[in-house]
Structure formats: C-alpha cells, structure tokens
Amino acid sequence: MLLEKNFYPDDFPMNIRIGNLKEYPIHYHYDIEFVFVLKGEIKLKNGYYTYTLKEGDIFTNNGHEVHAIYEGLGENIVAVIQVSNLFFTQYVPDLCKSCYRTYTAKEYDPRYDKLKKMLLMILLDYLKKSRNYEQQCIHSMLEFIQYLNSNFNLFAFEDQVVVQVKNNNAVLMERMSRIINYIYENHSEKITLKDLAKLENLNEYYISHLIKEFTGMSFRELLCFARVEWSEIYLLNTDKTIASIAREVGFSTTAFYETHFIKWFKKTPEEHRKIYAPMASNIRSTQFDIIPINQAIHIIKQNLSSMNSQDKNTNQVQKLSLDISVDAAAEPLRTLEPEFEIALTPAGYDTLGIRLYDHLSNFNCKEVTIKTNSSSSDSPVFILKRELEQKGYKTAVKSTEVLNGFTSFGLDSAAHGIHILKENLFGQNKRISINLIDLGDKETILKGMPSILTSGGIPKPSYYAYWLLSILRGTLICRGKHYAVIRACGTHPDYFIVVFNYNEEIDRLCTRNATVHETQDVLHSFNDQLDIHFILNHLSGDYLISRYSIDHHNNLFDYMSKLNFPDSLNLSNHKTALLYTVPFLEIYTEKVTQDLNLHISLNGLGIQFIRIQQHLS
C-alpha cells in the first residue's frame, strides 16, 4: 500500500522524528507533514517535481500528496513532523483541505523566518519535555497552523515549479485559497468558471483573471493540473488501467489525460507507474536513523542562534544557556542538614487547629516559638505551650516583636521562594526560623509579611520553598548562580537539582519595602530565559524523576493579580486560591545506562526542583 498510516503514541497529536535521513520511500498519508532541514541537504519528490532542500528549508506535504525523500550531498539532519488532522481540525476545521506551500526560492522573507522560528521552538519544547510540554507544543502548533493559513495556504508556479504565492493582500489570498480548495475537492466533477463565480459572488471574467494572476495558469490549466496530481495515487497504488484512471480523475479522454500528464511529469502515466511503483513504501524500507536527544537539541539551538544573530530587531529578553556536567560521586562542597524552628501566635493556632501539626510535620520541625504579650500562666499561650510539649515539641514563648519587620509584597510572591532557596543553599545557615502565619483578619490575603501562610491558612510560594529545603539533607556537590545539585546520604543516594531564574531587582523585592503594584511591575517585566542541560555522570539503573515547578503564574500573588488585587477575599474563595497555588508536579521514570540527562527551561521568574530516586529491584 502506498498509503502510510500515521501513529500518535500516548495520545499526543504530533509524531516528531529527528535524524539522518537516507531514504523515505514514495508514499502518501491523510495528515499534514512538515519536513525541516536542520543540517545539510535532501531531495524531496512531491508530485511531478523533485526539490533540493537545504539547511533551513521547510517543506509541507499536504494530505494526499504523493512524496518521497532521499539524501542529498553529504550528511543531513532532518526533522519530520506529522500532525493529526483528526485532532487539529477541532480548532482548524478546514485543515484537511489545506494547500500549504512553504517552499520558496527567495533568499529572505520575514514571514518565512518567523515560520522557521516557530517550528524550531516547537521542536525544542518537545525534546526538552519540560513542564507541561505536551500542551505547550499543541498550543504552539495551533499558532503555527494559523500562521500558515494566513500566509502560506496558496501556491503559484515559477518555471513549472510550485512555490509560495508572492502576494500580501490577505483578502485576495483567502479568496484564492477557497477557489483552489474547491477545485481540488471537486476535481473529478465537471466544474466550470461559472461554478466558481457563483461560489465567490463574482463574475466569471474576474475569477479567471484572479486565477491567472495568482497561479500563473488559466482555470482550465489549474483544473487539469489538480486532476493529474491526484491521479498519481491511483497510478502507484492500484492496478487500474490508464483509461479508468483518466475517467476517475475527471478527464473526458485518455489522450487528453496523457497529454497533461506528460506536460508535468515529463513521461507517460504508464512509464511513471513502471518507474515509481517498485519504489513505494510497502516495498522499500525507510532508512531514517534517529539521533540522540542531546545532539538534536544542540543542532536546534544552533539554528535558533544563527537566526537570532541575523535578527535586526532589538531583543530585550536575556537568554542564558548552560551545559552542566556533574560527577555523581563528586567531593562535597558543604553539608546540608537544615533544622527548622516555627513561630506562631495563639490566633494562628485558632485558624489552623489540628492542621498545625500537619505543617510542623511537613518541615520535620521539633521546635516551636509562641509569640505573645501575655505573661499569665493560664492564658491561651501557655495552654498551647503545654499541648505542644505533650506532643514532644520543644516550645519557647517570646514577645510579638520576634515576628515584626518591614512590609514588602515581594514576600507574598514567588520572588520570596527564590530568595529563601538561594540564601539557605549557598549560605551557612543550619538553623532556619519560619514565621508560620500572617497576623490580622483572614479575608485580607496579601499583607507583605514574611510568614509562609496567609491569615486564612493559604500557602505562599515561600511555604513550598521551605518545604523543598526540608527535603534537602545531604551534601552540596555542584552550584552556580542559578542552580544547585545535592546528593543525599546512603548507599543508593537520591539526587536533587534546584534551579531558579531571577535577577537582582527581583531579589531586592525581599529585602526592601515594596508596594503590591511595584512588585507586580518588577515581576511582569522580567522575561529572561534560562535553559540548563544537566548531565549526571556515572549513574545507571531505573530512576524515578519528580519535577516540582513554581513560576510567576501558579502562586498566590498571581491569583490575586488576576482579581485586580481586591482588598479582601471571601472565605468561600479560599479553597479555589488554595488549589491555584499548588506547585506543578510531573513524575516519570527513566532508564539510565551511564549518564542521566535532564533539561530545564524557565521563561521568566521560576523555580524547578527535581528529585532523582533510584528504583531498586
């Protein structure tokens, strides 16, 4: 069978392969396919013409187009991306009728450059498999398809080579797309200019002129071309006679069919069948050697870097890419054995109730400080003290001044989470004091206090930062401004990687007074991109990888900003806020033979915490 059925594993509506392509035998499929040359050159036969595609070229094989791919001169690296029409037609209903043509002989076209960047970013997101990458890839592919619809859903002819249209009139291009789609859909029928004129509510003369202006062919020539192109499927996929095929695609006589076939394919239909039928995909095998993920990422980054260096537009976003190789058995830089002391008030206990003990357990806390102004032995303070001591906690009573300090709304944001991790991972602090819960009324959410829970008990980003620190017991074996690698103790130790993306202005939000809107401006203006590739050497076996992510968009401060920072939040909405602020968790297993490769990408403010645990049989 010439028809290739596309498969999409794990319900992901894209099939992406990157490698060295020697031969992809002649075939067709119903879904759209993008062929992107990342290195070298290839030969791509689509219909009657064989294109030479060089580095940076993108070719679109639309549904039902017979095509094949062969190696060109020298080594090549090619990305082949197939997208599910069944899935994407939910959003783009006419996708299966597309006639995208992305091939161009022009040296520079800003639309084409944007298309390449969009596709490169999809490939990069797919390969890195960072947080929520499936949804990000789907969203980016929808944008890519919509951009194709607006700029490349039409073709023309230059010296009998099908190329993209050079016309920037969006209205006319949309009209011509409809006309060409109609011709292809109804190629086997006796369609006329009158039918097209009725379709577009225009006169026949104007329609004829429009087709000639855009494609370089008359209506009759275009219709015959569509019939000839469609006939190739029957020629190579069936044993039907030439006469039968001619009738099936709409030609009135076999001679008329053969004349137009020879015009485009330069040989008779019978000769074409004799040459290409033995080269079909059901007879010859595909030779496509998939390259390692690290190599693919490196090549894609090179392509992006090359494009960015040619971009004349000033880009204010800073991009930092790092490759970090870590010896899993490296000598320790310092020991991490954090001990937590938590401070709260009786009012805080009244809010939390027995949930207090869940919080104390989360931080492995053994010491509690109760803040108070009362010295009476029968006050709520000392009642709480006795209860805590009965449960085995070492308890102290101190004045309220212990929890007082400056006010900064940066303390309610993810900036405080980064500040906490940075200060405690790279400082010499062993004993960590935590203010558990904000003072005051429960309905006022943001107060700029250094506590880790709001007055109503909703966790701030700082809560999760301290919780992550409580897990980090072992030795620091590698560190940098934006990352730390920790090895736990034991014969088969866990490993932890902590990455945070920030700048000095964000860090200062946690050490100075800052209003809520000032904090919002600083956070929103930070769009720097951090991309780190870690290689943990000398590991082998099956590992469970757990990734926790906190960014500017899944925390309490962002939740309140979406509500335009109301003065208060009804208690009935606290549960929604609670769900919104939980860090994103991704868990998967990976079999490691020698080195473990991990990719972390953060766009804007963010934290990613990775725990690596070995599965022992």
CA dist 533 → 562, 596, 608 (Å): 33, 10, 13
Q: Tell me if 444 is assigned to some domain.
A: yes
Q: Is-contact 511 299, C-beta < 8 A?
A: no
pLDDT given at position 312: 44
Q: Tell me if 323 is assigned to some domain.
A: no
- Alpha-carbon gap, residue 607 to 422, rounded angstroms: 11
- E strands, 439-574, are 474-480, 483-488, 495-501, 529-537, 541-551
Q: Is-contact 19 123, C-beta < 8 A?
A: no
pLDDT given at position 452: 95
Q: Is-contact 326 485, C-beta < 8 A?
A: yes
157 and 295 assigned to the same domain: yes
Q: Tell me if 44 is assigned to some domain.
A: yes
Three-state secondary structure readout of 479-495: EECCEEEEEECCCCCCE
Beta-bridged to residue 52, according to DSSP, are 43
Q: Is-contact 66 277, C-beta < 8 A?
A: no
Work out the angle between the directed axes of helices 204-215 and 170-185 (0-180°, nearest 10).
Answer: 100
Sheet holding 584-592, edge to edge: 334-336, 474-480, 483-488, 495-501, 606-615, 541-551, 584-592
Collapsing DSSP to helix, strand or coil, 350 comes out as helix
Residue 97 has pLDDT above 90, yes or no: no
pLDDT given at position 438: 92
155 and 174 assigned to the same domain: no
DSSP state of 74: S
Q: Is-contact 551 602, C-beta < 8 A?
A: yes
128 and 218 assigned to the same domain: no
Highest mean pLDDT (candidates 81-85, 347-351, 399-403): 81-85
Domain count, the chain: 3
pLDDT confidence bin for 260, thresholds 50/70/90:
very high
Residue 20 has pLDDT above 70, yes or no: yes
Last residue of one domain, picked from the residues 244, 264, 284: 284
Residue 297 has pLDDT above 60, yes or no: yes
What average pLDDT does this structure show over 38-48?
A: 93
Residue 102 has pLDDT above 90, yes or no: no
Burial class (CB in 10 A: 0-12, 13-18, 19+), 148: buried
607 and 460 assigned to the same domain: yes
Among 85-94, 194-203, 376-385, the minimum mean pLDDT is found in 376-385
Give the pLDDT confidence of 582-601 residue by residue, as tens digits.
899 999 999 988 899 999 99
365 and 501 assigned to the same domain: yes
Angle of CA points 398, 399, 405, to nearest 5°: 115
pLDDT given at position 105: 60
Count Cα atoms within 13 angstroms, Cβ side, for 543.
25
- Alpha-carbon gap, residue 330 to 339, rounded angstroms: 25
What average pLDDT does this structure show over 46-65?
A: 90
pLDDT given at position 402: 42
Sign of torsion, CA 11 610 329 617? negative
pLDDT given at position 573: 82
- Alpha-carbon gap, residue 52 to 76, rounded angstroms: 12
473 and 393 assigned to the same domain: yes
DSSP state of 573: G
Provide the mean pLDDT of the chain: 87
- Alpha-carbon gap, residue 480 to 598, rounded angstroms: 16
Among 103-112, 156-165, 467-476, the minimum mean pLDDT is found in 156-165
pLDDT confidence bin for 314, thresholds 50/70/90:
very low
Q: Which two tokens stand for residue 211?
A: 């087709």
What average pLDDT does this structure show over 553-571?
A: 85
Count Cα atoms within 13 angstroms, Cβ side, for 560.
26
- Which of residues 340 and 216 earns the better pLDDT score? 340
Residue 505 has pLDDT above 70, yes or no: yes
Residue 166 has pLDDT above 80, yes or no: no
Sign of torsion, CA 501 503 504 510? negative
565 and 606 assigned to the same domain: yes
Sign of torsion, CA 328 331 333 336? positive
Q: Tell me if 419 is assigned to some domain.
A: yes
Q: Is-contact 613 555, C-beta < 8 A?
A: no
Domain that holds residue 196: 167-284
Residue given tokens 């969006």 in the structure block = 170
Count Cβ atoms below 10 Å from residue 313 Cβ, excluding itself: 5
pLDDT confidence bin for 216, thresholds 50/70/90:
confident
The continuous run of DSSP H or E covering 184 comes out as helix 170-185
DSSP state of 373: S
Sign of torsion, CA 69 72 75 78? negative
302 and 381 assigned to the same domain: no
Give the pLDDT confidence of 104-154 residue by residue, as tens digits.
665 567 788 889 988 998 998 899 886 678 887 898 899 899 888 888 876
Residue given tokens 């594993």 in the structure block = 9
DSSP state of 408: B
Please report, rounded to a whole number, the percentage of residues in the chain having pLDDT higher than 70: 92
- Alpha-carbon gap, residue 563 to 397, rounded angstroms: 38
pLDDT confidence bin for 155, thresholds 50/70/90:
low
Within its chain, how far is the Cα of 58 from the centroid? 20
Q: Tell me if 328 is assigned to some domain.
A: no
Q: Tell me if 322 is assigned to some domain.
A: no
pLDDT confidence bin for 371, thresholds 50/70/90:
confident
Q: Give the residue from 410, 609, 379, 398 showing the smallest Cα distance to 494.
A: 609
Q: Tell me if 609 is assigned to some domain.
A: yes
pTM above threshold 0.75 = no
pLDDT given at position 315: 43
Residue 613 has pLDDT above 60, yes or no: yes
Count Cβ atoms below 10 Å from residue 182 Cβ, excluding itself: 16
158 and 59 assigned to the same domain: yes
CATH number at residue 103: 2.60.120.10
The pair phi, psi for residue 78, each rounded to 5°, is -130, 140
261 and 410 assigned to the same domain: no
122 and 220 assigned to the same domain: no
What average pLDDT does this structure show over 347-376?
A: 88
- Alpha-carbon gap, residue 253 to 243, rounded angstroms: 8
CATH number at residue 345: 2.60.40.1500
What average pLDDT does this structure show over 577-586?
A: 88
Please report, rounded to a whole number, the percentage of residues in the chain having pLDDT higher than 90: 49
pLDDT given at position 464: 95
Q: Tell me if 324 is assigned to some domain.
A: no
Among 65-79, 160-174, 322-336, 540-554, the minimum mean pLDDT is found in 160-174
245 and 299 assigned to the same domain: no
What average pLDDT does this structure show over 400-411?
A: 67
> For strand 58-61 and strand 155-158, is the pairing parallel, antiparallel, or unpaired?
unpaired
Our CA dihedral for 364, 366, 367, 370, rounded to 10 degrees, sits at 80
Residue 417 has pLDDT above 90, yes or no: yes
